[in-house]
Amino acid sequence: MGRSLITGGAGMVGRQLARLLLARGEKVDVLDIVPPDKLPADIRDRVILVRANLSNWAEVMDAVAHSHPDTIYHIAALMPPNSEQNHAASWEINVNGTMRVLEAARLFKVGTVVYSSTTATFASELPEPVPNDHPQCPEMLYGVTKVCSERLGEYYHRRYGVNFRGVRFLSILGPGRVPGSGWSAYTSLVIEECARGNAYTIRVNESLRLRFIYVKDAALSLIKLADAHEGRLTTRIYNLDGFSASTRELVDGVLAHVPDAQISWEFDPEYQHVMDTRYGVIQHRMDDTLARQDWDWQTSYSRDDAIRDFIEDVQKGRV
């Protein structure tokens, strides 16, 4: 089996991806800015942590040269609201960081680069479901940086033959999500905090309905896309879809497993407004026909499966 380098491998998706790759016998290098103790205990000694910053050309080049991976999973990014509060850092990490990864892939002849984009690359007024090739007019700088990265990847593919492929994720539900990593982070935090026995306050209304993909499906999709036969690919970037859940349904799902969960509601009209407007895109169903056709994609986790598995993992300390 080969060697993979995961940028952002200490994050929510990256650590699940590392677990899946290790389980199939791959060697895994993690490029991240965090110290080693931020890696989950079950993978800490099984991956090589390359402490490097995507903002730094030399560090990225060194990391790729030394790792010499067959596949780079490029998933590190600055997400909203952080991305919207620091434009310069957002551009530096999300756009220039992608450029550095692609340049390194070109120079060091990396087999495949798999990229994690977002449905936030679309606007919030959308047809249902949103076609794979729908025009992208992002509401947030975050989405702009992700569109730029998609186009950069396609350019490196066309111009230099870098085997760039990517997916657009909906909101990802799963353990290990940190506050500030996306406006929808509360959807995961309420489950994780309650599973740990902590109280949690929700600031949006209970009927707010978003679309999600469970983190284990998200991680698996990246591997399936990396493995996909080139001859079957009809595009470089694929919409993915998942399941829908209202805030009430998430809370009921938590209460089914943690009956004494301490959940309170403190409605914040400004937060709700962001979720309905700038972040409204994650209320829409994505047309994932191409992913299904080209690389036989299907999700494994329904809403209820995801919540059950999430709570079990947190209670077993597997975050």
Ligand X SMILES: NC(=O)c1ccc[n+]([C@@H]2O[C@H](COP(=O)([O-])OP(=O)(O)OC[C@H]3O[C@@H](n4cnc5c(N)ncnc54)[C@H](O)[C@@H]3O)[C@@H](O)[C@H]2O)c1
SS3 of 199, please? coil
Indicate the residue whose CB is closest to ligand X.
11
Q: How far is the CB of 260 from ligand X (least distance, A)?
A: 28
Chain-centre distance for alpha carbon 222: 10
Distances (CA, A) of 159 to 103, 164, 188: 12, 11, 40
Chain-centre distance for alpha carbon 247: 20
Order of strands, sheet of 243-246, starting from the edge strand that comes earlier in the sequence: 171-173, 209-214, 243-246
Query: Which CB atom, from 79 or from 140, has the smaller least distance to ligand X?
Result: 79
Q: How far is the CB of 75 from ligand X (least distance, A)?
A: 4
Q: How far is the CB of 134 from ligand X (least distance, A)?
A: 16
Q: How far is the CB of 52 from ligand X (least distance, A)?
A: 6
Q: How far is the CB of 231 from ligand X (least distance, A)?
A: 27
Query: Which CB atom, from 161 or from 285, has the smaller least distance to ligand X?
Result: 285
Contact set with ligand X (CB under 6 A): 8, 10-14, 32-34, 53-55, 75-79, 93, 116, 118, 169, 171-172, 181-182, 184
> Can you tell me which residue has the tokens 């620091």?
86
Query: Which CB atom, from 10 or from 194, has the smaller least distance to ligand X?
Result: 10
Query: Which CB atom, from 8 or from 253, has the smaller least distance to ligand X?
Result: 8
Query: Which CB atom, from 71 or from 116, has the smaller least distance to ligand X?
Result: 116
Q: Give ∠ CA 284-286-290 in degrees, rounded to 5.
A: 175
Query: Which CB atom, from 79 or from 250, has the smaller least distance to ligand X?
Result: 79
Q: Are 138 and 168 in contact (CB under 8 A)?
A: no
Q: How far is the CB of 4 from ligand X (least distance, A)?
A: 15
Please spell the DSSP secondary structure of 160-185, one letter per residue.
H--EEEEEEE-EEE-TT--TTB-TTH
- Position 263: which residue type? I
